A and B are shown apart, each in its own frame.
Chain A
Amino acid sequence: EIVMTQSPATLSVSPGERATLSCRASQSVSSNLAWYQQKPGQAPRLLIYGASTRATGIPARFSGSGSGTEFTLTISSLQSEDFAVYYCQQYNNWPLFGQGTRLEIK
């Protein structure tokens, strides 16, 4: 059974700085990895799929990288609206989410 592990659990970053979030799969998921952003009281929003492809309407400051078991979501210059919880999800077999990283204002 695949396990998805996100780190860190909480990340404190100042606006304008870069944020780097990690996601690790316990076995290879190829490039079938997605990232979502979730704000309080809202449904998750798809940011990245195929490990590195931005979804429609997602700003270029969001980028994804990695394949196999190690993946990264980078937000190049944090805006106020980016502070939220981020989830990775593998879809190589049945869908499985990581436990989330809370991105908070430093």
Chain B
Amino acid sequence: QLQLQESGPGLVKPSETLSLTCTVSGGSISSSSYYWGWIRQPPGKGLEWIGSIYYSGSTYYNPSLKSRVTISVDTSKNQFSLKLSSVTAADTAVYYCARHSPGQIPFQHWGQGTLVTVSS
């Protein structure tokens, strides 16, 4: 059974870089056809896709966040990571990782989510 687990600091200072890792178990991150994505949800608000990566390293990002986002993959560890730079309080959210297949299968498998608060 595929499982995803987010990890990383729960508190980040304004202007710094938010860094999270998603560890995949029960399946290979190198599976063909699947992308691995990050989605966030500010407290009490809706869902926002941040970006996604293929095991080869190919990425695509939400245009509204693209200038601040970097997603990378480490196939040897079955992990992928998110970096979001120059954070502000507006970046406070629960961050989820999930698996999808663009144009074919939406986000079918999700991590449990991790709350990241931006505050000094």
Contacts and interface: CB of A to CB of B under 8 A. Distances in A.
A binds B: yes
Tier of interface size on chain B: 20 to 34
Contacts, number: 55
B104 to A, nearest CB: 8
B47 A97 contact: yes
Interface of B: 37, 39, 46-49, 52, 60, 62-63, 96, 98, 100, 102-103, 105-108, 110-113
Given A91-B100, A94-B60, A94-B62, A46 B46 contact: no
Interface of A: 32, 34, 36, 42-46, 49, 55, 87, 89, 91-92, 94-100
B106 A89 contact: yes
Contacts of A96: 49
A55 B48 CA distance: 21
